[in-house]
């Protein structure tokens, strides 16, 4: 196994070549302390994450952990999967820190730090919760736009707000607020998407006054104000009547930041080039992507992409090509990626091509399956154990009744239950991850092991009930997920305050790091 030293890796970070730094630990462990440019690729999900993050087998890859041997295991898997330029960071995060370099806590750190940089660089205007409450009560002509995902909006939101995820804001604002005297306020849960959403509208040059809600729904609740829950108010999903105006605004921002514009033929040439990594990202709303998309593209809704680039872009120095139907959302997202420091960002117009419905999935590992009806029959007999490999927070929200939760790489914690079972059925949200775990579970039991075809989604779609338990697993066992304040069972207010302070301080931490340069690359 080839190793790279700390100073050599720092040199690689700045040399302009392609580089993926993958942290092999579980996401919760990663969130405690990691390199700024590292991307989580936990062993428990390595097949799914590697397929999404590493489309080119020749990419230079460095695997990292905290010295427990996880990086070596990830590197060995990648080499088996055909990746040819794989290294392990000698000494892991401990060696990085011992050399005097900064380690960061939290997740989506590059994007979160960028949000703070944007606020400082552009002077983004903001309102505190009390000011917004007063404006709402006064009946001011205004709109409150929640820039998070629809699911997050339904969980809790500011009174009077409507759901307009960040990538849709500049696309739809002239339809939503045609009067230039209408005040526009953008909120999220904390800070990043509020700032980026508000500044997207300002960069697009809309005539309205625009504010970010300072500290989002967390700030709202910390101020003693109540959020509303269970609402579904959202933007009209049709192409806006003002699309031409939106395109002219987005075009100006994209040109200012140096976003390239290519066509379908040039994109096809990129796709055929085996020497470069290419991330093809469709920035439309998930429902539009599901209805049809370019084969090989991944859905990365624009506002969420900019807020969490490490969820989709695994390789520094890669080519990034963004797609949408009208060119508005791709140009806005592309401009922000350029300012984030990505050097090769293009918008491909008229390149959705012969669209494929549904979401792309990794190769089927060929696991033996049973359907939801058979599982229901088996559960009526003693001895069947259902093991759910979903993320801990997903398991809390809903699982097959009687199922136990497990992390794929820590199945030894379930060894007694596995050994006592007569039949074992593995599940995960769509069943794909469960398929990769069959051999690992079979090594711990003499019982036959099957996968629930279509996973827990198929169980629900068959009309069977799900059980929910917010306390299981408890917070301390959720090492697979970096718990946000709202995900916690205890200490929520203190977690909110700590989170907001952490976000604000990131702009100072990146200065200490010395490898971070925001603004259009030279």
Instruction: Please state, as a whole number, how many other Cβ atoms lie within 10 Å of the Cβ of residue 398.
Output: 18
Q: Domain coordinates of the chain in residue numbers?
A: 3-106, 113-246, 249-348, 369-477
3-state secondary structure of 245: helix
- The answer to whether residues 349 and 22 touch, using CB atoms and an 8 Å cutoff, is no
Which residues touch 458 (CB under 8 Å, ≥6 apart)?
Answer: 371, 372, 431, 452
Which residues touch 29 (CB under 8 Å, ≥6 apart)?
Answer: 66, 479
- The answer to whether residues 113 and 509 touch, using CB atoms and an 8 Å cutoff, is yes
Please give the full DSSP string across 215-243, using - where no structure is assigned.
Answer: THHHHHHHTTPPPB-S---B---SPPTTH
Report the CATH superfamily, name and number, of domain 249-348. Answer: Rhodanese-like domain (3.40.250.10)
Helices 243-257 and 169-176 cross at an angle (nearest 10°) of: 140
Q: Which value, to the nearest 10 degrees, does the dihedral of the CA atoms of residues 273, 285, 452, 379 take?
A: 170
Q: Do domains 249-348 and 369-477 have the same CATH topology?
A: yes
Which CATH code, of 3.40.250.10, 1.10.10.60, 3.30.420.40, 3.40.470.10, is assigned to 369-477? Answer: 3.40.250.10
What does each C-alpha distance from 102 to 13, 35, 498, 514 come to in angstroms? 14, 7, 19, 9
* 3-106 belongs to CATH 3.40.250.10: yes
pLDDT of residue 521: 86
Report the CATH superfamily, name and number, of domain 113-246. Answer: Rhodanese-like domain (3.40.250.10)
DSSP 8-state class, residue 486: G
- The answer to whether residues 107 and 35 touch, using CB atoms and an 8 Å cutoff, is no
Q: What are the average pLDDT values for consecutive 10-residue runs of the chain, which has 522 residues?
A: 96 96 98 97 97 96 97 98 98 98 97 97 97 98 98 96 98 98 98 98 98 98 97 95 98 98 97 97 96 95 97 97 98 98 97 70 77 96 96 97 96 95 97 96 96 97 96 96 95 96 94 93 76
The model's pTM: 0.95
DSSP 8-state class, residue 352: -
């Amino acid at each position: 196994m080839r190793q790279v030293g700390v100073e050599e890796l720092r040199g690689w970070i700045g040399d302009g070549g392609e580089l993926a730094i993958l942290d092999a630990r579980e996401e919760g462990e990663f969130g405690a302390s990691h390199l700024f440019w590292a991307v989580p690729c936990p062993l428990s999900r390595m097949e799914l994450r590697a397929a999404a993050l590493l489309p080119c087998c020749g990419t230079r890859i460095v695997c990292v952990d905290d010295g427990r041997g996880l990086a070596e295991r990830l590197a060995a898997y990648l080499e088996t999967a055909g990746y040819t330029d794989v290294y392990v960071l000698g000494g892991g995060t401990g060696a990085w820190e011992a050399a005097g370099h900064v380690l960061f806590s939290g997740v989506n750190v590059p994007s979160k730090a960028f949000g703070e940089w944007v606020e400082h660089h552009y002077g983004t205007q903001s309102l505190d919760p009390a000011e917004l409450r007063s404006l709402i009560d006064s009946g001011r002509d205004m709109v409150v736009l929640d820039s998070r995902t629809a699911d997050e909006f339904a969980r809790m939101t500011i009174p009077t707000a409507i759901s307009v995820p960040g990538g849709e804001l500049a696309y739809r604002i002239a339809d939503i607020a045609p009067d230039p005297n209408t005040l526009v306020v953008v909120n999220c849960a904390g800070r990043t998407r509020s700032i980026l959403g508000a500044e997207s509208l300002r960069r697009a040059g809309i005539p309205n006054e625009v504010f970010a809600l300072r500290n989002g729904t967390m700030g709202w609740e910390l101020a003693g104000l109540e959020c509303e829950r269970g609402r579904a108010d959202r933007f009209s999903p049709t192409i806006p009547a003002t699309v031409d105006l939106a395109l002219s605004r987005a075009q100006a921002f994209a040109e200012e930041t140096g976003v390239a514009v290519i066509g379908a033929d040039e994109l096809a040439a990129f796709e055929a080039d085996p020497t470069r990594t290419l991330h093809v990202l469709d920035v439309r709303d998930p429902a539009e992507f599901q209805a049809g998309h370019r084969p090989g593209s991944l859905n990365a809704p624009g506002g969420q992409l900019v807020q969490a680039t490490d969820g989709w872009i695994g390789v520094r120095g890669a080519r990034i090509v963004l797609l949408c139907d009208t060119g508005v959302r791709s140009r806005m997202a592309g401009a922000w990626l350029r300012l984030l420091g990505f050097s090769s960002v293009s918008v491909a117009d008229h390149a959705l091509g012969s669209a494929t419905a549904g979401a792309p999935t990794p190769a089927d590992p060929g696991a033996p399956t049973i359907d939801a009806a058979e599982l229901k029959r088996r559960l009526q007999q003693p001895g069947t154990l259902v093991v759910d490999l979903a993320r801990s927070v997903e398991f809390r929200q809903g699982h097959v009744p009687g199922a136990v939760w497990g992390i794929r790489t820590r199945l030894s914690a379930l060894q007694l239950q596995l050994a006592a079972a007569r039949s074992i059925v593995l599940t995960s949200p769509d069943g794909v991850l469960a398929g990769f775990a069959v051999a690992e579970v079979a090594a711990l039991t003499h019982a036959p092991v099957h996968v629930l075809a279509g996973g827990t989604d198929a169980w629900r779609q068959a009309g069977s009930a799900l059980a929910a338990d917010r306390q299981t697993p408890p917070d301390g066992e959720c090492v697979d997920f970096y718990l946000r304040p709202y995900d916690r069972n205890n200490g929520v207010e203190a977690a909110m305050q700590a989170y907001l302070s952490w976000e604000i301080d990131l702009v100072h931490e990146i200065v200490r790091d010395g490898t971070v340069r925001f603004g259009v690359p030279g």
